Amino acid sequence: MEDLGNKFLQVVVALAIFAAIIGLIMLIVDRAPKSFRDKATVIGFLAPAAILLVVGMIWPAVQTSLLAFTDRDGNLNGIENFVWMFTEPTALITLRNTVLWVILVPLLASGIGLVYAVFIDKARGERTLKALVFMPMAISMVGAGVIWRFVYAYKGPEQEQIGLLNQILVWFGGEPQQFLLDAPGNTFFMIAVMVWIQVGFAMVILSAAIKGIPMEIVEAARLDGASAWQQFRDITIPSIRGALVVVITTITIITLKVFDIVRTMTAGNYDTSVIANEMYTQAFRANEPGRGAALALVLFLMVLPVVVYNARVLKQQRQIR
């Protein structure tokens, strides 16, 4: 009987949230319909999406937020899960790794993609060169993790190497290395996999933005004697700033949620875990759903400023236009 009452309460809360969302949508509609029929039409079109949003996102988010303040038995424990997160050595390593991923992946992927887009712009075989760099985007994260796990594979010094990177080291007279076992270098080797995947995305978006720069501006700069570097610094970068912000923020959000690569290559062992992987480990392996929920909440709070900043930049660009 108690379970039935809890389920009924959950349904009531979900319906209340749904009604609040519908009311909010109606308030922000630019031109509010006057007649009841028009209002019913708007609600009818928006209701399916709103229901899915409530059931699939908002309600689970509320439950996760509440779960973050409970222990493994479901009892409230205040902020103990967050204290664990910022005091436990293994949790601190997880946060450190996440910060490294978030700093290095967007910068390297965007930088390499931008440089590549500039150099192959209007070059012979541009389409082929773009396709080669973009191909890793067609591979799943798990597939990329498996591929690069073989690239980093290690065998003893007296054995024949099956990993490409170690075989190259042996050819040049070096000793094979345990790339995925030795911390903290193993984190950087996994970051390289994510960069390899995301460079293609950055290159395509930035290349399209570069082609949208008016040729009159470029020709005027050349006539004024601007060098290639000055053209890149003073014309290309300012002209593609919007696309650059979108690329960096998008890759940042993807990187914050990285899970597949880490789980496939090391399962978070050897000091390589990140927040998303540790969230899964705590919730489903260590039987600590409260800690997993706390990690999920922190991950959401880390993603939120990036999303807000991206939205503000896009809004400013629309106002300029």
- pLDDT, tens only, 2-51: 554 555 566 556 666 666 666 665 555 544 455 666 666 777 777 777 78
pLDDT, greater one: 57 or 181: 181
The token pair that represents 100 in the structure block: 């490294």
**Domain ranges in the chain?**
2-67, 86-320
- Residue 275 reports pLDDT greater than 80: yes
Q: What is the pLDDT of residue 8?
A: 56
> Does residue 161 come out as left (phi exceeding 0), alpha (psi in the -120 to 50 range) or beta?
beta
176: left (phi over 0), alpha (psi -120 to 50) or beta: beta
Name the pTM for this structure: 0.81
Q: What number of helices (H) and strands (E) belong to the chain?
A: 16, 0
Overall residue count recorded for the chain in this entry: 321
The whole-number pLDDT of residue 51 equals 81
Q: Which of 79-93, 276-290, 302-316 has the lowest mean pLDDT?
A: 302-316
Q: Which residues pair with 76 in a beta bridge?
A: 70
Percent of the chain with pLDDT over 90: 28
Distance separating alpha carbons of residues 295 and 280, to the nearest angstrom: 9
Give the model's confidence band at 310: pLDDT under 50 very low, under 70 low, under 90 confident, else very high: confident
**HEC string for 51-84:** HHHHHHHHHHHHHHHHHCCECCCCCECCCHHHHH
In the block, which residue shows the tokens 């996102």?
57
Window from 83-87, 136-140, 301-305 with minimum mean pLDDT = 301-305
Does an H or E element contain 258, and which? none
* Residue 182 DSSP symbol: S
Residue with tokens 């040729």: 215
Distance (Å, whole) CA 193 – CA 259:
12
For residues 157 and 118, the model is more confident at 118
Among residues 153, 203, 210, 150, the alpha carbon closest in space to that of 176 is found at 153
Would you state the pLDDT for residue 61?
83
Any bridge partners for residue 70, and if so which?
76
Q: What percent of the chain has pLDDT over 70?
A: 85
Task: Please give the residue that has the higher pLDDT: either 120 or 199.
Answer: 199
Residue 191 has pLDDT above 90, yes or no: yes
H or E element, residue 158: none
Contact predicate 158/170, CB 8 Å: no
Q: Give the three-class secondary structure for 76.
A: strand
pLDDT tens digits for range 202-254: 999 999 898 888 888 888 888 888 888 888 888 888 888 888 988 998 999 89
Closest CA to 295 of 28, 154, 91: 91
Fold for 86-320, please state it: MetI-like fold (1.10.3720)
Contacts for 155 with CB less than 8 Å, ≥ 6 apart: 161, 162, 163, 166, 176
| 261, 194 Cβ separation under 8 angstroms | yes
110-120: pLDDT as tens digits: 999 999 998 88
Of 33-37, 129-133, 311-315, least confident by mean pLDDT is 33-37
Quote the CA–CA distance of 95 and 295 in Å, as a whole number. Answer: 10
Q: How far is CA 103 from CA 47, 113, 198, 249, in A?
A: 39, 16, 14, 11
* pLDDT of amino acid 30: 46
Maximum average pLDDT range among 71-80, 130-139, 189-198, 287-296: 189-198
Judged against a pLDDT cut of 50, whether residue 70 lies above it is answered with yes
Q: What is the average pLDDT score of the chain? A: 83
